[in-house]
Structure 1
Amino acid sequence: MARKNLLAHITATIGEDAERGANSDTEARASYTRRGASRSMIQSLDELAETSMRILDGDTVIALDPGELDGSFVADRIGDDDEAYSNLKEAIRQSGQSTPILVRPHPSDDGRYMIVFGHRRARVARELGVKVRAVVKPLADIEHVIAQGQENTARADLTFIEKAIFASKLLRSGLSKDVLKSALTVDDSLLSRMLSVADVVPDVVLDALGSAKGVGRDRWEELKKLVLNPAAVARARELVQDEMFISQTTDETRFQHLVVALKAAQKAGKRAKQKSAPAAWMPADQSVSVVARQKPNSLVMEFGNPKGKSFGKWLSGNMDSLFEQYSKANEEQETGD
C-alpha cells in the first residue's frame, strides 16, 4: 500500500485541528499537540510508530534547493561527529545522495520546508552546492516528531544524552509523554530516567560534555547523583571550564574526568564535615554536658543538663587561673619539660 494512504488514515483522525495546528504559531501548536495526544490521536500512535520508518516507501522523490529548508522545530543532535560527517560528505560527493530526506511544508512560512529528518544530508548538499533529494509530506507536529524520533532510533547513532535532551525538548514543546515514548521507542521507566538526567544535570555541563559518545545510561545516572546539591552544581560548573577538562581528547575521557573530580570533591567535603563535627564531653554522673563547636574563627561551647549553667558560670569566674594553667602546660609542651 502506498505510504500516503496509510498517513491519510492518521491525518483523518486529527481532522481540522491538524490543519489549524500546522498553520499557527508555536504556542498554538503546543496546545494542539496536547489535545491531540489526549484524545483520538493517542489511538494512532502505535500505528504511526510502526509505519514511520517506511514513510518514504512509494513516494515521489524531488530535488530541492537546500536554501529553501529550515531545521526541525526540535533538534535531536548535539553538534556533529566531525569524522562521521566528513565520511558522509565524501560518500555523497563520490556517489551522490542514495537516501532521500523527509521534509514537510513549513507550518508558518509559505514556500519553504521544514526538515523532519536528514539534517546532515541537507547540510552536505548545501556545502557541495547541489540540490538535496527529498520526499515532501504534509505532516502535523505529532507525526513529525514520531517520524523524526523513529528514524533516529533506527539509525542507533544518537547517544543516550542526545535522546534524553530530545525528549526533554519535546516535553517542553507541549507534547505528551505518550508521544515521546512512541517517538523514542522507550517505556515509562526509561523515559523517566532520560527526563530526570536532562533536567538535573546543568545545561552548561551538558553543553561541555556534548554528545558523550560511549557514555551510557548508567554513567549518566551516576553523574546526575553527583550534582544533586547546589554546592556540587557550582563545582561542576567550575570543572567544565578547567584546563584539565578542556584538554581531554575524547568525549568519554572528559566525562570520566568530571566524574572523578566530583567524587574527589564529595569525599573531601565529607572529611571536612567530619573534622568540624562538634566535640562533646560529659562526666560520669551526666550532671553536665559540654558541646564545643568549631567555627572558622572561634570556638563556641554550650553547657547543658542540670548543672550545665552553673558550671559555665564557674568557668567564666575562674578564667584567670584556668588560663594560667593552660599557659604553663603549653610552655612545658613547647620546651619539652
Structure 2
Amino acid sequence: MALNRNKAGIMAAISAATEGKAPIGQTAETSRAHRTLPKGTVGSVRAGLGGIQDIDTALILPWGPQDRLELTAVNTPDKDVLDLIDSIQTSGQQVPVLLRPAHQHDGKFEVIYGRRRVLACQQLGIPIKALIRTLDDGEALIAKGLENASRQDLSFYERARFAQAILDQGHSREEAQQALSISKNTLSQLERVARLIPDDVGSLIGAAHGAGRPKWMTLAAAFDQGAVSKSGIIKTLSNVPDGTSSDDRLQIVIESLSKRGAKETRSAERSPISGTVVRSTKSSVSLTVKRAGDTEAFADWLDDNFDRLIKESYQSFKKDAGR
C-alpha cells in the first residue's frame, strides 16, 4: 500500500536531514519546496536548507491529530513538560522536532511531532532545534506514528484518542492502522474506548500510563450498558484528592463500578420485543423467549434455527473484527 511504501522514504528523509544531507535521489533544489508552496516562500527556503535548524517557537503552529492528553485538569502543568524544561535547561535539547512549512501561513511551520518539546522551549524563551521536511498529510501522519512507536510511551487511552482523532480528521482506517502499527481488531478496540468513554471523563482521569486495555474496556462496557453516566463518574472524581495520579483515578473509577452492581444488573436487561429478555452480565449474555402468547411460535422457530443463527452471527463477528 502507498503508505507502507512511503515509510522508508520518510525515515530516510528525516535521517538525511539529521546528517545535513538531502534525501537520497534529491538535490537541495528538488527537496526544497513544500509541494503546496510556491518556490521562494520563506517556508520553502528553510525546508531546502536541510539539517537541524533553530526555529523561533512563535513561528510554530499545531498540526494534525493530538496524540497525548496534554494540559488537562489532571496534568496541568504537564509533568512531562516540566521534566523537559529541566532537562533542556541542564543539558540542552537532545532530540530535534519535526516541522513542515505551513502552506497557509508563509514563514510559519506546523509541528508534526515534538509538541511538548516546542512547549518546553517556548516556556524557556529559546528557539527549538528542528528538522524541516516537505511532507503531505499522509506522510506527516506516518512520521508522527513512527516517532510515537519508536518511543512507545503512549498509554492505551492516549492511543485510543489518537486513533479517533485520526479518523475524525478524515483519514482512512488504513491510515490509522499504519500510523499506529496496529491490526483491524486493535483499531476497533481503540475506537470503542474513545467512542463510549466521554472525552470529559477521559481527560479528568488522564493518560493512566500504568493501565492497559482491560480497565479501559471495562469502563467503556459500563457506559455501553448504561451502568454509569458521565455525571456520575465526574461526581466520583470530584471527591478524589488533588494530586492523585491518573492510574489511581482510573482505579477509583473502576472500583466504583462494583458498588453499582444492582444498578448494572437492572441496566443490562433489555427486551427487544415483547416476551423476550436479553441479560448481559460480566460473565455471560443470555436470551430468554417465552413459549406463550404472541412469542410461542417465534420461540419454536428460534429453537429450530438457533444453531444456524449463532454460526452466522459468529462468522459476521469474525469478519468485522478482522479475525
Tell me which interval the TM-score lies in, with the shorter structure as reference length. 0.5 to 0.7
Does residue 105 of structure 2 align to residue 101 of structure 1?
Answer: no
Contact (CA 8 Å) 2:227, 2:268: kept in 1 or not?
A: no
Q: Which of 194, 198, 204 matches 1:208?
A: 204
Contact (CA 8 Å) 2:226, 2:267: kept in 1 or not?
A: no
CA distance in 2, matches of 1:196, 1:269: 19
Contact (CA 8 Å) 1:223, 1:259: kept in 2 or not?
A: yes
SS of alignment partner, residue 227 of structure 1: helix
Contact (CA 8 Å) 1:214, 1:252: kept in 2 or not?
A: yes
CA distance in 2, matches of 1:185, 1:177: 12
Q: Which of 241, 245, 248 matches 1:250?
A: 245
SS of alignment partner, residue 260 of structure 2: helix
Does residue 239 of structure 2 align to residue 266 of structure 1?
Answer: no
Q: Tell me by how many angstroms 1:225 deviates.
A: 1.0
Does residue 91 of structure 2 align to residue 133 of structure 1?
Answer: no
CA distance in 2, matches of 1:130, 1:58: 25
Q: Which of 205, 209, 213 matches 1:217?
A: 213
| TM-score normalised over the length of structure 2 | 0.66
CA distance in 2, matches of 1:85, 1:117: 14
Aligned length: 232
Does residue 73 of structure 2 align to residue 77 of structure 1?
Answer: no
SS of alignment partner, residue 158 of structure 1: coil
Aligned pairs for 1:56-67 within 5 A:
56-59=14-17, 60-67=51-58
Report the structure number with the largest CA radius of gyration: 1
Distance of aligned partners of 1:49 and 1:161 in 2 relative to their CA distance in 1, 3 Å threshold: farther
Distance of aligned partners of 1:239 and 1:262 in 2 relative to their CA distance in 1, 3 Å threshold: farther
Distance of aligned partners of 1:222 and 1:271 in 2 relative to their CA distance in 1, 3 Å threshold: closer
Q: Tell me by how many angstroms 1:45 deviates.
A: 1.2
Aligned pairs for 1:86-165 within 5 A:
86-165=82-161
CA distance in 1, matches of 2:144, 2:267: 50
Residue in 1 that maps onto 2:3 = 45
Describe the superposition over 1:233-262 as per-residue Cα deviations: whole angstroms up to 9, x where unpaired: 24544434531x355711111111111112
Q: Which of 155, 162, 168 matches 1:166?
A: 162
CA distance in 1, matches of 2:92, 2:261: 53
| TM-score normalised over the length of structure 1 | 0.63
Describe the superposition over 1:196-229 as per-residue Cα deviations: whole angstroms up to 9, x where unpaired: 1100111221111111121111111111111113
Residue in 2 that maps onto 1:286 = none
CA distance in 2, matches of 1:272, 1:101: 48
Contact (CA 8 Å) 1:204, 1:237: kept in 2 or not?
A: no
Q: Structure 1: which amino acid aligns with 2:55?
A: L
Contact (CA 8 Å) 1:52, 1:150: kept in 2 or not?
A: no
CA distance in 2, matches of 1:220, 1:273: 19
User: Percent identity over the alignment?
Assistant: 28
Q: Tell me by how many angstroms 1:97 deviates.
A: 1.5
CA distance in 2, matches of 1:249, 1:257: 10
Contact (CA 8 Å) 2:208, 2:247: kept in 1 or not?
A: yes
Q: Which of 179, 195, 198 matches 2:191?
A: 195
Please, which runs of 5 or more residues in structure 1 have no aligned partner? 1-42, 275-337
Please, which runs of 5 or more residues in structure 2 have no aligned partner? 18-50, 270-323
Residue in 1 that maps onto 2:59 = 68
CA distance in 2, matches of 1:273, 1:69: 49
RMSD, aligned CA = 2.5
CA distance in 2, matches of 1:95, 1:247: 32
Q: Structure 1: which amino acid aligns with 2:194?
A: A
Q: Structure 2: which amino acid aligns with 1:48?
A: N
More helix by share: 1
CA distance in 1, matches of 2:216, 2:139: 29
Residue in 2 that maps onto 1:36 = none
